[in-house]
């Protein structure tokens, strides 16, 4: 029998986690690394991060923060990026997360 997988999707603005209401109003949730520690204890299956302003600002996600998050993370980690930004990441070999 198939088991249900738990994959939280966390939204980032700058270096903070936020909860969006209709993608307009943002409420501060907390520090990403502390949240990852909580999800480690809850034994979720995977984490997905969305940098919701990276595409609008035409920039790559904060790779240093993502590396810090990956160091704390004991489960697979995904980062959603726009395809054009992904090409920039590949070009500069900036992102080297091994999760």
Ordered per-residue pLDDT tens for the chain, 99 residues: 678 888 888 888 888 888 877 777 888 988 988 999 999 999 999 988 888 787 778 777 777 888 888 888 888 888 877 766 666 666 555 455 544
**Alpha-carbon distance 26 to 11, whole Å?**
10
14 and 49 in contact (C-beta within 8 Å)?
Answer: no
Domain membership of residue 2 (yes or no) is no
Asked whether residue 60 is assigned to any structural domain, the reply reads yes
> In DSSP terms, which residues pair with 20 in a beta bridge?
26
What gap in Å lies between CA 56 and CA 29, rounded to an integer? 22
* In-domain check, residue 3: no
Looking up tokens 């990026």 gives: 81
Q: Is residue 37 part of a domain?
A: yes
How many separate domains does the chain show?
A: 1
Q: Name the pTM for this structure.
A: 0.72
Q: What pLDDT is recorded for position 44?
A: 92
The answer to whether residue 21 sits within a structural domain is yes
Per-residue pLDDT at 74? 87
Name the residue range of residue 37's domain: 9-92
């Amino acid at each position: 029998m198939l088991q249900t997988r738990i994959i939280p999707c966390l939204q980032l603005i700058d270096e903070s986690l936020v909860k969006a209401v209709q993608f307009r109003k943002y409420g501060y949730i907390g520090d990403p690394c502390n949240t990852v520690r909580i999800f480690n204890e809850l034994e979720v299956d995977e984490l997905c991060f969305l940098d919701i302003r990276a595409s609008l600002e035409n920039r790559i996600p904060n790779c240093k923060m993502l590396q810090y998050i990956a160091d704390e993370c004991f489960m697979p980690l995904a980062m959603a990026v726009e395809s054009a930004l992904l090409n920039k990441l590949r070009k500069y070999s900036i992102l080297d997360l091994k999760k």
